[in-house]
Amino acid sequence: MKYFVATSILVDLFAAREPFVKASVEDLSNVKSKNWVLYVSDHSIVTLNCRTARYFGNLETRKKTAILLNQVELVAANKSILFAATSNQFKDYEDAVQFQCTITITAINGIIKRKKKLNTPRFQFLHRKKGFLK
């Protein structure tokens, strides 16, 4: 199974952001035990570093980034992806870029993101069969 991981999930893990971190750790451990392949955009990695380095310092953040990079596959947010994101259905540009990255992955099964209600710390699996991905 192949899933794209949203930036918000990565920030929850890096920053141990409550109330989401416990559920994020549990869910990612479950995903890892199933040997699913996880994808993130290079844009997410840079955003993650910008958001967390000010709290943890550059060295600690880079150590965490190296660990993450060993566990995921990267999708490059190239010019065509960034351009396509300017005109897709998402109001938030970061979400638009992540979606455009996701649809470039062959045989992707879905996206792992937090549920819309911010107080709901469980992942939302959006599957191709439900019509979210075309």
Per-residue pLDDT tens over the stretch 105-118: 998 888 888 766 65
Instruction: Give the model confidence (pLDDT) of 62-110 as tens digits.
Output: 999 999 999 999 999 999 999 999 998 888 898 899 999 999 999 888 8
The crossing angle, in degrees rounded to 10, of helices 7-15 and 42-56 is: 20
CB 50 within 8 A of CB 100: no
Is this structure's pTM higher than 0.75? yes
DSSP category for residue 129: G
CB 8 within 8 A of CB 114: yes
Per the CATH hierarchy, to which homologous superfamily does domain 2-130 belong? 5'-nuclease (3.40.50.1010)
CB 40 within 8 A of CB 72: yes
Both structure tokens of 105: 């992955």
Q: What pLDDT, on the 0 to 100 scale, is given for residue 112? A: 83
Distance CA 50, CA 36 (A): 27
CA 67 to chain centre: 15
Distance CA 93, CA 61 (A): 24
Distance CA 9, CA 123 (A): 8
Q: What is the mean pLDDT of residues 40-68?
A: 91
Whether omega for the bond prior to residue 19 falls within 30 degrees of 0, making it cis, is: yes
CB 126 within 8 A of CB 133: yes
Domain boundaries, the chain: 2-130
